[in-house]
Amino acid sequence: MYKLLCQLFLAITGQNLPEEAFDVIFPFLQGKRKGRGDIGLGVTDYSNITPHQILLCDIPLQYYQTWEQFLELKKKMSKKEFKNKYYLDSAGKRCKPSWESKNIWVDRTYEKPMVCLNYILYMKSEHDKRVVLNNLNRNEYDDRLRGIDISWASSCIFCGDFMRLSSYKLKNQKKDIEETCTKINKYGVDYNDEIAYKIRMGVPVCGLCRNSKERQELYRMNLLSRGDWGETFYHERSEQFHRDVGDLNPKPDMSKVPKGIKPHWDTPLDYSEMSYWNLSDPFSDDFWHPDLTADEYMRWMEHSRFSGINLDDPDPLDDDLYDQFEENEENVVEDVVEWMIERLEEQ
């Protein structure tokens, strides 16, 4: 088991597990010591998750308020009636999940603590995922279970590679995954700085694409076809679709941009404050037109943002002349008193 953990650590980080970790982890792997089961389950979960993921929603509360109730839910899902209802396609082929993962926790943000559940089905293929999603979201079933496609949350928005570690972190977070996905997809909401930062960081971009303008240029068509993540079953990837998106706005006139202009940032993604939204929105000032290369886009952004602005000029508010426009304290007090008298007269 320890050898397996070392191999996993090497595969994820590219470095060897620190030697001092042996003293902490190894005792947990011996006999029936406390914690060994959790480590083993974590390794099993990590190795069995797939890119094709469905989040089960609207599970009745009475199925997970206690461990015994959750076992009843598992028993119900293993019955033939449940499998025939949700895990069969139109041809009668069985589309059973290859792995299932649950995360039960107590949410103490409410006045009365509430037991919550995230239950994810990992499917073998895209076909199986679509079949089960359609079955879950058909209205004639009495139990009203819903399914949400959360596969996008574990795949890079550029290259589309499966991000296993991000998927593992997502399933283990003690938050409502459906609510998290809704916030990430909600463009235009006035979040405070901290929440906005967390949401932007929640958009899945692999390390290779985040730091490479070449990869962002190579896979930018995938970015444009992001669709309504979590809301639809299929996101169009055709070349014509992207061209239609690009035709909504004409290509920027690069003849106006000096060729020797130097970019302030390293990649096109760095120029968008709201990450993938603005890059893929044809009506945004940060839109990355399909006909622009990465270098052209970065030069265009530099020109459109900073042309006509001399960054070397001092702030006019720091000029000594600004002192002439400061208000006299006596006048300010007099204005306030007059305003108060007017309000009293109105009443």
- What tokens appear for 168 in the block? 């593992």
Q: What is the mean pLDDT of residues 100-108?
A: 90
What confidence score (pLDDT) does residue 321 get? 45
149, burial (CB in 10 Å: exposed 0-12, middle 13-18, buried 19+): buried
Q: pLDDT tens across 284-303, in order?
A: 788 888 889 999 999 999 88
Residues 49, 177: Cα–Cα separation, whole Å: 16
Nearest to 182 by CA among 120, 231, 134, 144: 231
Residue boundaries of the structural domains of the chain = 1-48, 50-198, 213-306, 316-346
What confidence score (pLDDT) does residue 243 get? 74
Contact 247, 291 (CB under 8 A): no
Distances in whole angstroms, Cα of residue 141 to Cα of each of 82, 85, 95, 128, 295: 11, 9, 18, 19, 53
User: Taking the CB of residue 51, how many other CB atoms lie within 10 A of it?
Assistant: 19
Nearest to 221 by CA among 245, 253, 252: 245
What confidence score (pLDDT) does residue 69 get? 92
Q: pLDDT tens across 226-250, in order?
A: 544 444 434 455 677 777 777 777 8
**Least confident stretch, 96-105, 118-127, 217-226, 337-346:** 337-346
Q: pLDDT tens across 182-211, in order?
A: 766 554 444 444 444 444 455 788 888 888
Residues 54, 146: Cα–Cα separation, whole Å: 10
Nearest to 291 by CA among 260, 258, 235, 253: 253
DSSP assigned state of 250: P
Give the amino acid at 134. Answer: N
According to DSSP, the residues that pair with 148 across neighbouring strands are 55
**3 state SS of 105:** strand
Q: pLDDT tens across 144-184, in order?
A: 788 988 888 888 888 888 988 888 888 888 888 888 777 66
For the entire predicted model, the pTM comes to: 0.69
Which residues, including other chains, have CB under 8 Å from residue 68's CB and lie 6 or more apart? none
What confidence score (pLDDT) does residue 342 get? 73
